[in-house]
Chain A
Amino acid sequence: DTEVTQTPKHLVMGMTNKKSLKCEQHMGHRAMYWYKQKAKKPPELMFVYSYEKLSINESVPSRFSPECPNSSLLNLHLHALQPEDSALYLCASSQVRVVHTGELFFGEGSRLTVL
């Protein structure tokens, strides 16, 4: 069982809808990530939060808005998405320390379909 929990597992939304993806981890990790993954492709980094502050934004369109309310929670707010935004959205967490090896712990993902 994954220790990173994502909800909802599936989401279908129209291009004018506003929805949110949620992620929760209880491993004490202080770095959290959002990745986007298309079918049979590797994950693509979107955002990184470290100590609840946004540290990396990979030039993601503003229709995706991340939020980190506390050290255990990470949200991704969605508004005015396009059909090409349909994908599996993965949340991940990791330790933050100088010798960190880069190991990521992923959630099961939220499958998003934009109609």
Chain B
Amino acid sequence: TQLLEQSPQFLSIQEGENLTVYCNSSSVFSSLQWYRQEPGEGPVLLVTVVTGGEVKKLKRLTFQFGDARKDSSLHITAAQPGDTGLYLCAGKIANAGGTSYGKLTFGQGTILTVHP
């Protein structure tokens, strides 16, 4: 059972287009992160959201955390070839018990290709 459903798995678009990636779950998350990973590199943290309904912007990237903290989205405006990469959402399930660190639940990832 995949606790964090990420969609779409693949996205191929032209430079200048807009796109949205979604992460959905039936579980409540105490926090959720978005990471971007380029080929041969490690994931790089883009943003953390912790409050239901929260919206954060990072240049052309807009991140939303659902009101119920069960879903999140990443919207990219006017995509550029440099945005190409694997986008991962990951989060900590609320009230999961045990330690307060360690296990993140990852989505399956979205491979984004932006063509010039």
Chain A residues proximal to chain B, CB less than 8 Å:
2, 4, 6, 31, 33, 40-43, 45, 48, 50, 55-56, 88, 90, 92, 94-109, 111
Q: Which residues of B contact A2 (CB under 8 A)?
A: 42, 44
Q: Smallest distance from the beta carbon of B110 to chain A beta carbons, Å?
A: 10
Q: Is B102 an interface residue (CB 8 A)?
A: yes
Range of interface residues on chain B? 20 to 34
Q: Smallest distance from the beta carbon of A25 to chain B beta carbons, Å?
A: 12
Q: In the complex, are the beta carbons of A56 and B103 less than 8 A apart?
A: yes
Complex-state Cα separation, A102 to B93, whole angstroms = 10
Q: Is B91 an interface residue (CB 8 A)?
A: yes
Q: Which residues of B contact A90 (CB under 8 A)?
A: 42-43
Q: Smallest distance from the beta carbon of B62 to chain A beta carbons, Å?
A: 19
Q: In the complex, are the beta carbons of A50 and B101 less than 8 A apart?
A: yes
Known: A56-B102, A97-B100. A102 touches B91 (CB 8 A): yes
Q: Which of A50, A88, A102 has the most CB of B within 10 A?
A: A102
Q: Is B27 an interface residue (CB 8 A)?
A: no
Q: In the complex, are the beta carbons of A104 and B104 less than 8 A apart?
A: yes
Complex-state Cα separation, A45 to B102, whole angstroms = 9
Q: In the complex, are the beta carbons of A102 and B109 less than 8 A apart?
A: no
Q: Which residues of A contact B35 (CB under 8 A)?
A: 106
* Contact with B101, one of A42, A48, A106, A111 (Cβ below 8 angstroms): A48
Q: Smallest distance from the beta carbon of B1 to chain A beta carbons, Å?
A: 15
Q: For the A-B complex with A42-B109, A101-B31, A102-B91 known, give 5 more contacts whose Cβ atoms are closer than 8 Å.
A: A42-B88, A42-B107, A43-B106, A48-B101, A56-B103
